[in-house]
Amino acid sequence: MSGQQHTIGGEVEFRSAGLHTGEETTVRLRPAPVGTGIRFRRIDLDPVVEIPLDLEHRREHPRRTSFAVGDAEVHTVEHLLAPIHILGIRNLIVEMDGPEVPGMDGSSVEFFDRIQEAGVVAQEQRGRSLTIREATGVQSGSSSLVALPGEDRFRVSYTLHYQSTPPITQFQSFTLDAETFRREIAPARTFVMESEVKDLQSRGLGRGATTENTLVIGPEGPIDNEFRFPDELVRHKILDMIGDLAVLGSDLVGHFVAHRSGHALNGDLAARLGEVYSRERDVEAILIDAQGGLDVRQIQKILPHRYPFLLVDRILEIDQNVRAVGLKNVTYNEDFFQGHFPGQPVMPGVLQIEAMAQLSGVLLLRNTEDINKLAYILSVDNVKFRKTVVPGDQLILEAELKKLRSRTGQVQARALVEGQVVAEATLRFMIVDAY
């Protein structure tokens, strides 16, 4: 399964001028409960406005990544979001007393180090994961960005090209984890070509940028500064992409290949992935929240069965991913009663096993990293039927996970009526791709 959700271990505060607005802003990171997501909180507004990090609240602004609710906006969030994403933090309150995240030194290194010092705390709920299964891309002019399957981790490859004097072409590719990000990506600073400076300033951008927090690239290299890496520019582009894809709120598994991509195209790919994997994301959200139970509509989004063969009406709870409880209301209207002992209706034992198997399927799916799986019965052992099930009974189903491997699972299941066991069995499943 995908990893657990995480939050920060304690409060962390940053303060400096924003790169574009030039306004001094304090950002305070606060731990948040499971299911919160990343939320920006504009505490300088009255009333305070919370802005969720999601695709719906993304806003287009030049040279930066922004989110908004109404007129309340937060800007240049990508340098902060990149380390948050790589460290697996999915629940966090980001309090801000201004509109733009502090620019710091133009990189993510201080954000990363201070967050890591505060600690990353695992929480008691499954996290989201998005595994690329088919090539999905976006393009604008000569710029492109595509997500490719075939990787078992998060990999980014980027080709940078500027028709400057002299032209600049750089390429880098990294399989990303926290250690690699800190060493190879986090120190890379934002940059601007010297030829762009006047235009950006005329548009009201870069008011907080200096040659200390922004690499101004002239014909001979950085003006009044030095590179931290010979290819620092492409590394910062990768940093930006990581921060921009954090809007998906998921661990990413796949190979992301970019050619001259920027914030707008990164955001477009995130939106496209949200569309392509909408069903998977909906199902995953249901499974994450399954402790509170699932109704039949939610169950139908997970299981491939439909009336008259959907034999679980409701899932009451999933406990710590090892035990699930569901129910089936047995009524006179069941199709099978028309031909199975019609004079004295009895629920077929094989359908009691099927009901237990369907509940087990949800439990197995919740524990499987890839939600696009199906569970087929391999064997049914130690079957016992202890009491007949008749119309009017409410069948309480219980399933307990005993073993789980990449392709097989074993579940101990039983069915009860009014607290008495009416059937039980050991079920073994083969776990296969849904398509």
- What pLDDT does 327 receive? 92
- What pLDDT does 1 receive? 37
- What pLDDT does 41 receive? 98
What average pLDDT does the segment 210-235 reach?
A: 95
The yes-or-no answer on residue 61 being catalytic is no
- What pLDDT does 59 receive? 94
331-334 contacts: CB < 8 A, separation 24 or more?
A: 331/391, 331/392, 332/391, 332/392, 334/308, 334/391
Fold (CATH) for 4-276? Ribosomal Protein S5; domain 2 (3.30.230)
- What pLDDT does 173 receive? 98
Amino acid (one-letter) located at 92: L
pLDDT digits 0-9 by tens, 287-313: 776 666 788 888 888 888 888 899 999
Locate the domains of the chain by residue range: 4-276, 283-433
Q: Does the pTM of the predicted model rise above 0.75?
A: yes
The yes-or-no answer on residue 75 being catalytic is no
Annotated active-site residue in 61, 259, 305, 340? 340
Burial of residue 219 (CB within 10 Å: 0-12, 13-18, 19+) is: exposed
Which residue has 């998977």 as its token pair?
280
- What pLDDT does 285 receive? 78
With a cut of 60, say whether residue 102 has pLDDT above it: yes
Whole-number average pLDDT of the chain: 92
Amino acid (one-letter) located at 276: V
- Between 35 and 114, name the one with better pLDDT: 114
- What pLDDT does 52 receive? 98
Annotated active-site residue in 6, 20, 255, 263? 263
* CA dihedral (45, 46, 52, 58) positive or negative: negative
283-433 belongs to which homologous superfamily? Hotdog Thioesterase (3.10.129.10)
Of the CA atoms within 13 Å of residue 428, those in its CB half-sphere come to 8
Rounded Cα–Cα distance for residues 26 and 102 (Å)? 7
- Between 133 and 10, name the one with better pLDDT: 10
Which residue has 């072409």 as its token pair?
169
Six token digits for residue 107: 């990189």
Longest pairwise C-alpha distance within the chain: 94
